Amino acid sequence: MKSHARNDVADKLAHLKASGAMLLLRSPRLSVSLILELLDIGDAEFRQMCRDDPRFGRLLEARRNGSLEPESVEPMCCPGCGSWFLPYGGARQCSDECRQIARIEKASRG
């Protein structure tokens, strides 16, 4: 039972690292080495991520070609509280509290 729980934690950590790397690689301002250092990802682990997910290869190719442009961010109105905010990543709400409200409302609608 304990080894299964450890595997789940390890899988979640690997997924979080891969998601974080994918998000940070979209920024042409950050070097790949800095991203790997920030996320504590080793060379072998990064190579495995690239083999497992072809999106890494496309991002790295775009970085190498210089065709990766910083994504523009437009202000957005939070559907939970009505405040304006700059979304980060795929955020649709301005805060964790508003995200929880949105989940509750979605669950109540069925």
Residue 45: is its pLDDT beyond 90? yes
| Residue 37: per-residue pLDDT | 96
Residue 80: is its pLDDT beyond 60? yes
Q: Which residue type sits at 101? A: I
61 plus 37 within the same structural domain: yes
Domain membership of residue 70 (yes or no) is no
57 plus 81 within the same structural domain: no
44 plus 80 within the same structural domain: no
Domain extent, residue 29, equals 2-65
Stated pTM of the model: 0.59
Q: Which residues contact 26 (CB under 8 A, 6 or more apart)?
A: 59, 68, 71
7 plus 26 within the same structural domain: yes
Alpha-carbon span 8 to 11, nearest angstrom: 5
pLDDT band at 3 (very low <50, low <70, confident <90, very high): low
